[in-house]
Amino acid sequence: MPAPHVAETNDCPIGRILFLSTILQLDTGCNTITKRGLNGFFKETYMIKIKENISLALYTVYKIGGHARFFADVKKSEDIIEAIVFAKEKHLPFVIIGAGSNMLVADKGFFGVAIHVGGGEVRTEGEKLFTDAGVMTARAVVASAKAGLSGFEWGIGVPGSIGGSIRGNAGCFGGAMKDVVENVEIFDSLSAERRMLEAARCEFSYRHSVFKKHPEWIILSAVLSLKKGDQKQIQQRIREITEARAAKQDIGTKSCGCIFKNITWAQKGIQKTELIERFPWLADFRDSENIPASLLIDRAELKGKRVGRVYVSPKHANYFVNEGEATAEEVVMLISLVKDTVRRKFGISLEEEIQYVGF
9 within some domain: yes
Look up the CATH number of the domain holding residue 203.
3.30.465.10
Q: Let me know if residue 239 belongs to a domain.
A: no
- Please indicate, yes or no, whether residues 137 and 105 belong to a single structural domain of this protein: no
Task: Give yes or no: residues 285 and 330 share one domain.
Answer: yes
Same domain? 18 vs 93 = yes
pLDDT in the model for residue 54: 97
Confidence of residue 179 (pLDDT cuts 50, 70, 90): very high
200 SS3 class:
helix
Instruction: Residue 64: give the domain boundaries.
Output: 5-117
Average pLDDT over residues 230-234: 95
| CATH classification at residue 353 | 3.90.78.10
Q: Is residue 51 part of a domain?
A: yes
Is 156 a domain residue?
yes
Residue 240 included in any domain: no
Give the number of domains in the chain: 3
- For residues 10 and 98, membership in a common domain is answered with yes
Of the candidates 117, 139, 165, which is a domain's last residue? 117
Q: Same domain for 191 and 258?
A: no
Cα angle 175-138-214, degrees, rounded to a multiple of 5: 65
Amino acid present at 166: I
Q: How far apart are CA 146 and CA 341, in angstroms?
A: 46
Average pLDDT over residues 32-46: 38
Kindly indicate the confidence band of residue 66, based on its pLDDT and cuts at 50, 70 and 90: very high
Report whether pLDDT(319) > 90.
Answer: yes
130-162 residue pLDDT tens: 999 999 999 999 999 999 999 999 999 898 999
Q: Kindly state whether residues 257 and 351 are assigned to the same domain.
A: yes
| H or E stretch covering 110 | strand 110-117
Distance CA 320, CA 303 (A): 10
How far, in Å, CA of 274 to CA of 259, rounded?
27
The model's confidence at residue 248, banded by pLDDT at 50, 70 and 90, is confident
- Does residue 171 lie in a domain region? yes
**Are 141 and 41 members of one domain?**
no
